Amino acid sequence: MKRSEIPPEHLDGYLRKTSAALAKVRIAAPDPSHHRKLAEDFLAMAKAYSEDARHFREQGDFVNAFACVNYAHGWLDAGARLGLFDVGGDDKLFTLSQ
């Protein structure tokens, strides 16, 4: 494998991990609050990028799929680190500590 290639099993692992993270996320910010709106926006962005990743995967565009799934998970990690999401202390699916 060349370093410029993304193996399907590698991409699929990231897609599974991000799907599991999306299923685990719960909005922690109270409603109504500015933080609630931020949390909803972070979650919407993560879902949109995750859907884009799956679309690109189906099209065989592994490079864009890989980029999108990493953006999706980045939104989830950021929301968890900021306290917008309750992730049950899961430091396997999320980057919670420094």
- Amino acid sitting at position 59: Q
Instruction: Give 24-62 pLDDT, tens digit per residue.
Output: 999 999 999 999 999 999 999 999 999 999 999 999 999
User: Average pLDDT over the chain, rounded to whole?
Assistant: 95
pTM: 0.92
Which alpha helices (DSSP H) does the chain contain, by range? 8-24, 34-59, 62-82
Q: Does residue 98 register a pLDDT over 80? A: no
Q: Does residue 2 register a pLDDT over 80? A: no
- CB contact at 8 A, 6 and 60: no
